[in-house]
Chains A and B, each alone.
Chain A
């Protein structure tokens, strides 16, 4: 397994699309699943949602946040990833529901592309909301052409309506009945959308980006409380009913290595200088 980077494209500042050659992942991946990368010896294990597959390759879309994702974004076409393990996690529960609403926020838009595709294949009516900080952060817009309706919202109103995704979602639910909802994006967005869904008593799937080490159910680091039961994001998820997620502890756990992440990133930037490649 060579894990060669076949294509790389910059989608927004710090957001990059990679096509990686790996027939095992591309053959078996289903919507909602993820892979774990390790770039080199002593590198971190980086979980990334699979955003599309081709014959012998698959796509991930990476947002540079910490040292490891900065380094990943610095790689180019023709480079190799040392380890790629996947597909991991339970696939999305895609079937015929009727009316589906799918919300993608920021880099979370990458994660909803295969779900929307599958929902359409299962003959659902699919409405899609794409949200971002500003128009630069709305990515992959043209991959949702087959959806019944596509709406765009931005925090600053530079594209589409000026609103947060959950506000627009509320408005949509007032106008139309939905049988199922997906919301994938920053945890604040997923939490807000889950609250709206709870209020209207509609099931909502969210995909949790917990901190993980192995991704195979072995370390328990990605644990999250779902309906008062401890679950492991990597093997029980990554998708859960957002109405049951204990968002408070989830968000605190996401921040647990903030200090260490800062140390690692600043050390890295000292070594490589201005990250002009972002």
Chain B
């Protein structure tokens, strides 16, 4: 059987887009979306749905696109996913829905992510709003701590079910990693704002600038609410902690990206928060965050190299992000590990001493373990180094929460439905799993919401 190739989305030219922060991928036109949707086999037993952490009726919303019923498609989508414009852009579809698509066996999978994004954007552009009146109001109060993907999903699910929901966020804006971590060129802030605004329409009370734990004691929350959901993420950056980590010019990816995304440092001095750029920037790591940091640095005019200790095959980043980074001019130096930062007399970074690596046997992560090659040290010149090697749990809240059991890495112990060691207290997202993806956090929020609903209805 001849199967048509998947249709490509429209992407901006790499040499144009690597100079600004506007979106790189422009998605599908209506015609392209309909064409692509028609490739879907409408499997009676759809494996793609099993591959989706929130179990979206994927054949259902795609069928409606093929039928040109965009509004109908949006309604199907929204039933399962409260943040489709975000997920369509940042989910690792290749290992989830698209990775499970039957068409993989005979050709290329359906472009589910791009279709999801198309429908979500279409709804935003046409001011289509879902029916947001809950069936009944329930006289129970829920507190959501953290307004990232997990918290936003839980808040939306519970509010739709009729609960009274208060959401607390320590930043001045909602979105969590969606606004401070993921750059504008991959996920425009306006999209996050629009999807978050829907929460307000659902009646969720959003309190920003509140450090729960210090401004409101957990005890007070336990007294005031019938259930509490903790979705505070795992925002504390890890450092390799090699010599010279204190030097000026050494950043965590979180700091670099927060300065740029949340504080708009790329507009300095029009905006007030600066960020160091310099000529040569080295980004350390191979995940999506490393790609985001590298591509942001590139857009600020730097010469950017990604240094990763394994080979490109082992990089955890989405393939699309690696491809985009390369097209835009980010250099890759794999099988390389920094061992020391070198500074000048003023404490400014001037170089990074690295060692070459080779791959040995697979380790507990299943990836081949990088082993240093003796006497292969060399120095890379750099005035800025950005470490994107992962995060630890954020302890601002956890240190204040008596009796909340944590695992040996400091994350909250919770079962698959988010139940914690304290009755009424649920948790989900990165603060339970360690840093993962937006959609997994949303899936956790959704599961916790279903259990809270059952318990309190």
With A42-B267, A42-B272, A230-B241 in contact, do A219 and B255 touch (Cβ < 8 Å)? yes
Taken together as a complex, chains A and B put the C-alpha atoms of A260 and B265 apart, in Å, by 11
**Contact assessment for B272 and A44 in the assembled complex, using a CB-CB cutoff below 8 Å:** yes
Question: Residue-by-residue, is B393-417 near A (CB-CB < 8 Å gives 1, otherwise 0)?
Answer: 0111001000000000000000000
Instruction: Give, as a whole number of angstroms, the nearest-CB distance from B419 to chain A.
Output: 26
Contact pattern, A 15-49, Cβ under 8 Å of B = 1, otherwise 0: 00000000011001000010000100011110000
Per the bound structure, the CA–CA distance linking A260 and B208 in Å amounts to 29
Q: Are A88 and B346 in contact (CB under 8 A)?
A: no
Chain B positions within 8 Å of A214 at CB level: 170-171, 180, 258
Chain A CB within 10 Å, residue with most, of B172, B239, B252, B276: B172
User: Which residues of B sit under 8 angstroms from A172, Cβ to Cβ?
Assistant: none
Looking across the interface, which residue of chain A has its beta carbon closest to that of B236? Answer: A217
When the two chains form their complex, are residues A253 and B248 in contact, meaning their CB atoms are under 8 A apart? yes
Which of B172, B214, B246, B273 is the most central at the interface, judged by chain A CB atoms within 10 Å of its CB?
A: B214
Interface size of A by CB at 8 A reads: 46
* A contact residues around B211 at 8 Å (CB): 85-88, 216
Cβ–Cβ contact A42 & B237, under 8 A: no
Specify which of A88, A214, A261 lies most central, judged by the most chain B CB atoms within 10 Å of its CB. Answer: A214
> Counting CB contacts under 8 A, is A218 at the interface?
yes
Of the stretches A103-111, A133-141, A150-158, A220-228, the one at the interface is: A220-228
Are the C-beta atoms of A220 and B259 separated by less than 8 Å? no
Question: When the two chains form their complex, are residues B394 and A216 in contact, meaning their CB atoms are under 8 A apart?
Answer: yes
Q: Give every chain A residue within 8 A of B348 (Cβ-Cβ).
A: 256
- Interchain CB contact (< 8 A) of A68 among B237, B254, B268, B272: B272
Interface string of B204-221 (1 = CB under 8 A from A): 000011110011110000
Q: Are B269 and A213 in contact (CB under 8 A)?
A: no
Complex contact B236–A232 (CB within 8 A)? yes
Distance of A257 Cα from B248 Cα, bound (Å)? 9
Given known pairs A218-B258, A252-B346, the reply for A28 and B214 (CB within 8 Å) is yes
Question: Which residues of B lie under 8 Å from residue A24 when comparing CB positions?
Answer: 210, 215-216
> Nearest CB to that of B274 among chain A residues?
A260
Q: Tell me the nearest residue of chain A to B271, going by C-beta.
A: A42
**Range of interface residues on B (Cβ < 8 Å):** 35 or more
**B interface residues with partner A (beta carbon < 8 Å):** 170-172, 180, 208-211, 214-217, 235-237, 239, 241, 245-249, 251-252, 254-255, 258-259, 263-264, 267-274, 276, 346-348, 394-396, 399
Secondary structure at chain B's binding surface: helix, strand, loop or mixed?
Answer: loop
Question: Which of A82, A83, A220, A264 has the most chain B CB atoms closer than 10 A to its own CB?
Answer: A220
Q: How far is the CA of A218 from the CA of B252 in the complex (A)?
A: 9
CB neighbours of B216 from chain A (8 A)? 24, 28
11 contacts between A and B (CB under 8 A): A42-B271, A44-B272, A45-B273, A214-B170, A214-B258, A217-B394, A223-B245, A246-B246, A255-B248, A256-B248, A260-B268
Closest 4 CB pairs of A and B: A252-B347, A260-B274, A219-B255, A256-B248
> From DSSP, what is the main secondary structure of chain A's interface residues?
mixed
**Closest residue of chain B to A28, judged by CB?**
B215
Q: What is the CA–CA distance of A83 and B211 in the complex, to the nearest angstrom?
A: 13
A224 to B239, CA, bound (A): 12
The one of B215, B217, B251 that contacts A221, using a Cβ cutoff of 8 Å: B251
Q: Please measure, in the bound complex, the distance between the C-alpha atom of A252 and the C-alpha atom of B347, giving whole angstroms.
A: 6
From known contacts A85-B170, A213-B263, A264-B269, infer whether A219 and B210 are also in contact, taking CB-CB under 8 Å: no
Closest to B256 in A: A219
The CA of A45 and the CA of B259, in the complex, are separated in Å by 10
Q: Are A85 and B209 in contact (CB under 8 A)?
A: yes
Complex CA–CA separation, A1 to B215 (angstroms): 13
- Nearest CB in chain A: distance from B286 CB, A: 19
